[in-house]
Structure 1
Amino acid sequence: MSHHHDLGPSEVGSVVLDLGGDRGALIIHTGRDLHGREIEISRVDLDGPRTHSAVRERHVRDGVFHSAVYPDLEAGVYTVWWDESTSAGAISVTGGSIAEFVWPTSSPARLD
Structure 2
Amino acid sequence: MLLDIGGDVGALVVTMPSDRTGDEVEIASPGVTPGHHDHVAVVRRPVPGGDVASLVFPELRAGDYDLREKGHVRAVLRVTIEGGQVTTADWPA
Which structure has more RCO (C-alpha within 8 Å, separation ≥ 6)?
A: 2
Deviation string for 1:31-70 (max 9, x for gaps)?
1100011111102276684211110100023531110000
The answer for unaligned runs of 5 or more in structure 1 is 1-14, 106-112
Counterparts of 2:32 and 2:3 in 1: how far apart (Å)? 23
Structure that is richer in strand per residue: 2
Deviation string for 1:12-48 (max 9, x for gaps)?
xxx2211100000001110110001111110227668
Q: 1:99 to 1:62 in 2, by over 3 A?
A: farther
Q: Residue 7 of structure 1 aligns with which residue?
A: none
1:39 aligns with 2:25: yes
Does the 8 A contact of 2:21 with 2:53 survive in 1? yes
Q: 4+ residue runs of structure 1 moved beyond 6 angstroms?
A: none
Q: Residue 21 of structure 1 aligns with which residue?
A: 7
The residue matched to 2:22 in structure 1 has which SS?
coil
The residue matched to 2:79 in structure 1 has which SS?
strand
Identical counterparts, % of pairs: 34
The TM-score with structure 2 as length reference comes to 0.86
Q: How many residue pairs align between the two structures?
A: 91
Q: Residue 94 of structure 1 aligns with which residue?
A: 82
The TM-score with structure 1 as length reference comes to 0.73
